[in-house]
């Protein structure tokens, strides 16, 4: 079993319930991972993913090896048949096969480069490991998805569920740097597995990949989108059409207390790290309606559920 996309799961509702059980007794399966090793390979920076996934593995009794691939590993070649007479020192064929001998599960973080849309959509690094590793692979945020994050988001929303069918708004917000679409993509895919009034709001031109958003509702007027919302999920992403560009930095899209007043006393969510007073004002993120810290805590139980399922599957 691999965990590549939130769409891999059979029932979101069932997985969320299982994760909440793990949260109540995180050390219950401490023996499951004995003598098993998780290898975590990072091609990009991380705080939450690195520590929560490591903590999840430790809760299951696993050993953990972490490698920052870009600073410590050989530069990898991913093209089949490449003549490696410059640049990369090692082919993914050997690298993935070798790491598979040291680890029982390999977890990969490899962001979009935001230069070549086709290459990013092909998920070169993740798919390279998936193709040549001989052990299960977990996606710790790839070019187009962050399924551990969206599983944690689903767990967090379930803990704050409303009595009525919730209105959930994914809102774009400005950011000084070009960011990938991985988090909003997986959030959209996760919301498509839930019964909710789900609305995506962003400036015109900032549409996500239509193959991912499908028929999800898009509202270009952020104020209108916020009306009666129960959850506001803020995230920046760079332009998908003018690929990887920042074509809008309008501060009117920052989530402010005035905008939150339009909602149904909505909870505020963000995957973190967040740029304060750019994405969201201090007043909102420091308010009692902000659940970003709980959301980050649930990353452990999302990862633990995934690792547990893989370990159980492999028995």
List residues near ligand CP by CB under 6 A: 46-49, 141, 149, 271-273
Q: Are 96 and 133 in contact (CB under 8 A)?
A: yes
- For ligand CP, the closer of residues 149 and 189 by Cβ is 149
- The angle formed by the CA atoms of residues 149, 220 and 277, to the nearest 5 degrees, is 60
Question: Which of residues 132 and 148 has its CB atom nearest to ligand CP in the complex?
Answer: 148
The tokens for 38 are 């998780």
Contact 165, 134 (CB under 8 A): no
Q: In angstroms, what is the minimal distance from the CB of 306 to ligand CP?
A: 14
Measured from the CB of residue 215, what is the shortest distance to ligand CP in angstroms?
A: 27
Least spacing, CB of residue 51 vs ligand CP, in Å: 8
Pick 48 or 202: Cβ nearer ligand CP = 48
Instruction: Identify which of residues 260 and 296 has a Cβ nearer to ligand CP in the complex.
Output: 296
Q: Is 14 exposed, middle or buried (0-12, 13-18, 19+ CB in 10 A)?
A: exposed
Q: What are phi and psi of 3, to 5 degrees?
A: -125, 100
Strands (E) in 44-182, as ranges, are 63-68, 76-77, 90-91, 105-109, 137-139, 167-172
90: left (phi over 0), alpha (psi -120 to 50) or beta: beta
Q: How many CB atoms lie within 10 A of CB 272?
A: 14
Question: What is the bridge-based pairing of β-strands 167-172 and 90-91?
Answer: unpaired
Q: Closest distance between ligand CP and the C-beta of residue 52, in Å?
A: 8
Q: Considering the complex, state which of residue 267 and residue 270 has its C-beta at the smaller distance from ligand CP.
A: 270
- What's the min distance (Å) between Cβ of 134 and ligand CP? 26
Q: How far apart are CA 178 and CA 269, in angstroms?
A: 20
Q: How far is the CB of 42 from ligand CP (least distance, A)?
A: 9
Q: Cβ closer to ligand CP: 77 or 141?
A: 141
Hunting for tokens 């270009």 — which residue is that? 220
By C-beta, is 40 or 91 nearer to ligand CP?
A: 40
Q: Which of these, 124, 152, 158, lies nearest to 306 by C-alpha position?
A: 152
Residue 132 CB, shortest distance to ligand CP, in Å, is 25
Of 69, 44, 26, residue with least CA distance to 183:
44
For 170, how many CA atoms within 13 A lie in the half-sphere containing its CB? 28
Whose CB is nearest to ligand CP?
49
Nearer to ligand CP, 8 or 45 (CB): 45
For residues 232 and 268, the answer to whether their CB atoms sit within 8 Å is yes
Are 100 and 135 spatial neighbours (Cβ–Cβ below 8 Å)?
Answer: yes
Minimum Å distance from CB 47 to ligand CP? Answer: 4
């Amino acid at each position: 079993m691999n965990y590549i996309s939130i769409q891999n799961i059979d029932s979101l509702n069932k997985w969320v319930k299982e994760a909440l059980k793990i949260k109540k007794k995180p050390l219950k399966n401490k023996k499951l991972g004995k003598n098993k090793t998780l290898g975590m390979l990072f091609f990009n920076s991380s705080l939450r993913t690195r520590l929560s996934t490591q903590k999840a593995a430790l809760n299951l009794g696993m050993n953990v090896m972490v490698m920052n691939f870009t600073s410590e590993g050989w530069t990898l070649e991913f093209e089949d048949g490449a003549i490696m007479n410059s640049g990369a020192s090692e082919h993914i064929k050997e690298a993935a096969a070798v790491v598979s001998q040291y680890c029982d599960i390999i977890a990969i973080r490899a962001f979009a480069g935001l230069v070549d849309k086709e290459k990013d959509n092909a998920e070169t690094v993740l798919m390279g490991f998936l193709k040549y590793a001989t052990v299960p692979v977990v996606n710790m945020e790839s070019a187009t998805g962050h399924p551990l994050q969206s599983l944690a988001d689903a767990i967090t929303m379930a803990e704050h569920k409303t009595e009525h069918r919730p209105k959930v708004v994914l809102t774009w917000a400005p950011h000084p740097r070009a960011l990938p679409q991985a988090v909003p993509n997986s959030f959209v895919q996760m919301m498509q597995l839930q019964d909710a009034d789900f609305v995506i709001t962003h400036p015109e031109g900032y549409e996500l990949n239509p193959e991912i958003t499908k028929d999800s509702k898009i509202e270009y007027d952020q104020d209108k989108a916020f009306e009666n919302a129960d959850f506001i999920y803020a995230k920046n992403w760079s332009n998908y059409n003018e690929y990887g560009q920042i074509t809008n930095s309008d501060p009117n899209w920052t989530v402010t207390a005035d905008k939150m007043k339009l909602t149904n006393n909505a909870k505020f969510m963000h995957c973190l790290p967040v740029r304060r007073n750019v994405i969201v004002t201090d007043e909102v993120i420091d308010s009692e309606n902000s659940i970003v810290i709980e959301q980050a805590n649930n990353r452990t139980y999302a990862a633990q559920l995934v690792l547990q399922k893989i370990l159980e599957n492999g028995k």
